[in-house]
């Protein structure tokens, strides 16, 4: 029997600007720099969509997926 294992490649960080997700609560941000970005989606009722701020990104990771914005 032959077994071949191919480990997954470690994720590579995308350059800014990019979409990021807060792994703590699922909020999604459009980040201009490492700490400056705009909240574009939140699961929390008290969140203000469109709020730009210097965010604590210690629990953020690159968002893999797509988002559609429309009026």
Q: What angle do CA 58, 40, 49 make, to 5 degrees?
A: 105
Residue 3 clears pLDDT 90, i.e. is over it: no
Q: What residue ranges do the domains of the chain occupy? A: 18-61
The structure tokens 């807060």 sit at 22
Q: Rounded CA gap, 41 and 65, in Å?
A: 13
Confidence of residue 1 (pLDDT cuts 50, 70, 90): low
Tell me the pLDDT tens digit for each residue of 27-44.
Answer: 999 999 999 999 999 988
> What tokens does 9 get?
């490649």
Sheet order of strands, 28-31 included: 52-54, 36-41, 28-31, 18-22, 60-62
Instruction: Read off the pLDDT band of 4 (50, 70, 90).
Output: low
Say if residues 23 and 4 touch (Cβ distance below 8 Å): no
pLDDT in tens, 9-68: 667 788 999 999 999 999 999 999 999 999 999 988 888 888 887 889 999 999 988 888
């Amino acid at each position: 029997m032959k077994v071949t294992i191919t480990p997954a490649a470690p994720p590579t960080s995308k350059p800014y600007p990019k979409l990021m997700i807060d792994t703590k609560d699922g909020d999604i941000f459009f980040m201009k720099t490492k700490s400056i970005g705009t909240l574009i989606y939140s699961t929390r009722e008290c969140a203000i969509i469109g709020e730009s701020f210097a965010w604590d990104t210690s629990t953020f990771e690159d968002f893999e997926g797509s988002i559609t914005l429309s009026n």
